[in-house]
Amino acid sequence: MAPGDELAHGRAGGVRARGRQQVLRARAAVVGHGCFPDGGAGPVERIAGYVRFSLRAAWTTRSAVTFQPSGRARPYAGRVAVILAVCVVHALRPDAGPVGVTAIDKRAVAGPVRVGPYGLRADVQADRVFHGGTAQALYAYGQDDADHWARELRRELAPGWFGENLRVAGLDPNAARVGERWRVGADVVLEVTGPREPCSTFARWVGGADEQGWVRRFRDAGRVGAYLRVVSRGSVQAGDPVVVEPAAPGAPTVLEVLRG
């Protein structure tokens, strides 16, 4: 072992151990605060700050260093975020669109969920032309954006309300660059492919007085979230950390693609 490697290896082990402890606490916070509708929906925003804080302490070192299997340290420019909720379809609902049904009604589920080329196990892509396929296997939406719309619409918007599979905190999906990769938990690697284009099905889901003009309103706000393809399969669950690996230089952001 080269001089200095023992110190790097020891620090690596310490960071990984603290990281595991904090991730477990974050997961416990997500479940314990009642994020899951089946157990009574709770205010996700109350735990978002705790999750960000608890992960920050354990993972701050990763903003400067990452550790390879050998224990050697090297520079790393990643950012760290967290999965607040993993959501799959609750029920297919009749819809006036060309498909006749929609899978927009998604709810948070507890425990690990397998991820494959077409997204989460037990989820459904009712419309693979515009909202599915391998390039749109998963849809991620930010908690900050959800909080914005909760204020605008004056109602609680639980994880899954936007039809998202992943409710995230600590990163802005709209500012993500096409081609950047998200390492989620231990195994899963996702790649940003582009923005969600709001449609009339989404407007009907919103309903009420807000249905009229919703597509343009949602789009113009620039809070649309990001689609992702699956690079490496595995399992995801609430509390998993997300490490962002940069896209190629000059790659457009999700918002830039949306606005053309």
What is d(CA 197, CA 220) in angstroms, rounded to the nearest whole number?
A: 11
pLDDT band at 99 (very low <50, low <70, confident <90, very high): confident
Least confident residue range of 14-23, 65-74, 233-242: 65-74
Q: pTM for the full model?
A: 0.73
**Residue predicted with more confidence, 49 or 66:** 49
User: Averaged over 162-184, what is the pLDDT?
Assistant: 98
User: Averaged over 12-25, what is the pLDDT?
Assistant: 45
How many other β-carbons are positioned within 10 Å of the β-carbon of residue 137? Answer: 23
pLDDT of residue 80: 65
pLDDT tens per residue, range 1-15: 444 444 434 444 443
pLDDT of residue 167: 98
pLDDT band at 161 (very low <50, low <70, confident <90, very high): very high
Q: How buried is residue 122: exposed, middle or buried, by Cβ count under 10 Å (0-12/13-18/19+)?
A: exposed
**Residue predicted with more confidence, 97 or 107:** 107
3-state secondary structure of 23: helix
State the chain's mean pLDDT as an integer: 78
pLDDT of residue 126: 64
| Domains of the chain, earliest start first | 74-259 (2.40.33.20)
Cα-to-chain-centroid distance, residue 99: 26
User: Averaged over 178-187, what is the pLDDT?
Assistant: 97
pLDDT of residue 98: 84
Query: How does DSSP assign 123-184, residue by residue?
Result: ---S-TTTS-SGGGSEEEEEHHHHHHHHHHHTS---TTTTS-SEEEESS-GGGPBTT-EEEE
pLDDT for 243 beyond 90: yes
Half-sphere exposure of 69 (CA within 13 A, CB side): 0
pLDDT of residue 97: 84
pLDDT of residue 110: 96
